[in-house]
Amino acid sequence: MAPRRLRLLVIAALAFTVTMLIYTSRLRDSGHTPDQRTLQDFYHKTKGALAGSGAGAAADSPGGNTVPAKPVDLDNDGDVDEDDLRLAREMQSRLKAAEQQAKDQANAKSPNRPDAPSNVIGVGSAANKGSGGNAVAGGAAAGAPAAAAVAEPVSDEAKAVDAELDLIVKKSPVVIFSKTYCPFSKRAKGVLLDKYVIDPAPFVVELDTHPLGAALQARLAELTGRRTVPNILVGGKSIGGGDDIAEMDGNKALVGKIVTLSSNRVTMKERLA
């Protein structure tokens, strides 16, 4: 084949490639998706033309197998050698790359592209169902932990108890929670009310006669950790029960304890001193 004819074929192939690139660029600008069949036809026609001209590219046979084309002198050095085969392979690679690029661009713009699996699974009538096909309550998966329980609002009784307790501790720095029939309560009141003069005087709450007595005792157990009576509070803090008061009194520590916890808001002395 004459070198001039070969050059004309190469120039024609390049002209086809440039024309196709301009065509696809215009399609992208206009927002239209290029026709894949047109791209493939162009690819196969160009490939076939090069193969028919003996450009060294492999042509597809009807059975799908590649048939080596007749080697030609692509570098015009007067003989067919390894350089010509290399040029033929490079040309074929460029054609395949151009075809793949055109396919990728078309797929990127295709409006009918299928949704990703993550956007499809679980959507429709089969959603939110366990292995047995029954719908899971609330749309949660079977075996999933239940949602955290919403905190219940504070009851009116609880509000009343807290309000009453707040009023009580404001009556005096020293508060004695007692019960009229409790011997331990009587012992503590005997020490604090009979043996000592405390100013201001301790405020006594008899829980067995108070309308909110049981609820107050339960609330005191939560706040002070002491569930029994008597429960003596000084400055809002529990210093114990009957045995504790007796022990501190025997150790001569009761007066200092009460005065300190009350932040010196009370005076305390023995009646017979």
Q: What is the pLDDT of residues 33-64, one digit of tens each?
A: 545 455 555 555 555 555 554 444 444 444 44
Average pLDDT over residues 141-164: 69
Beta sheet of 231-234, edge-to-edge order: 203-206, 174-178, 231-234, 237-240
Distance set, CA 54 to CA 21, 80, 185 (Å): 25, 12, 118
Where does the pLDDT of residue 88 fall: very low under 50, low under 70, confident under 90, or very high at 90 and above? confident
What percent of the chain stands above pLDDT 90?
A: 41
Residue ranges per domain, the chain? 3-109, 157-270
Cα 256–Cα 260–Cα 264 angle in degrees, nearest 5? 110
CATH 3.20.20.70 fits 157-270, yes or no: no
Average pLDDT over residues 242-260: 96
CA distance 273 to 271: 6
Residue 208 is classified by DSSP as: T
pLDDT of residue 155: 85
Distance set, CA 21 to CA 7, 76, 99, 125, 228 (Å): 21, 28, 11, 46, 93
pLDDT tens readout for residues 197-240: 999 999 999 999 999 999 999 999 999 999 999 999 999 999 99
Distance linking the first and last C-alpha atoms of the chain: 138
Where does the pLDDT of residue 181 fall: very low under 50, low under 70, confident under 90, or very high at 90 and above? very high
pTM of the shown model: 0.46
